[in-house]
Amino acid sequence: MSAVRVEERKSPEAVVALLSGEITSETAPSMHEKLLGLVVPQGRLVVDMSGVTYVSSAGIRVLVLLHRRAAQAGGRVELTGLPEAIRFTMAATGFLELFVISDADRAAAESAGPAQLPVPGQREVPR
């Protein structure tokens, strides 16, 4: 099992968190702590999950808690790069509706500097 990695990028439009690895009950607590530190009042947090290979229910719980914290602070969380299996699971459980899904919106991530983001049109998952 690989640990989940969180790489942070900042731009004038948003804070971008690039996630990679597996989000399990063992890795979710450290991811939770790192992501909560990226929530700013009235801010936009873009969580790029294109490098995530697995998400357990603990990982989905972290995303829901992150959404709640951002909403309490007047901000929002956007998910991008959702692998098809993760998108399906979140849609089936109803949690996908909590988030703005911004697969086509790469401007904030790209303006935050070089990163390991998919090229637009590559690995895009139809809605």
pLDDT the model gives residue 1: 56
The whole-angstrom separation of Cα 99 and Cα 64 is: 9
Q: What angle do CA 115, 48, 100 make, to 5 degrees?
A: 140
Higher pLDDT, 43 or 119: 43
Predicted TM-score (pTM) of this structure: 0.79
| pLDDT tens digit sequence for 21-43 | 999 999 999 999 999 999 999 99
Indicate whether 60 belongs to any domain.
yes
pLDDT surpassing 70 at residue 87: yes
pLDDT the model gives residue 102: 84
pLDDT surpassing 70 at residue 50: yes
Nearest to 24 by CA among 63, 57, 69: 57
Q: Which domain holds residue 91?
A: 5-111
CATH number at residue 38: 3.30.750.24
pLDDT surpassing 60 at residue 98: yes
Indicate whether 12 belongs to any domain.
yes
The total number of structural domains in the chain stands at: 1
Q: pLDDT averaged over the chain?
A: 84
| pLDDT tens digit sequence for 72-84 | 999 999 999 999 9
User: pLDDT band at residue 125, thresholds of 50, 70 and 90?
Assistant: very low
Torsions phi, psi for 98 (to 5 deg): -75, -20
Indicate whether 124 belongs to any domain.
no
Contact 95, 60 (CB under 8 A): yes
Indicate whether 90 belongs to any domain.
yes
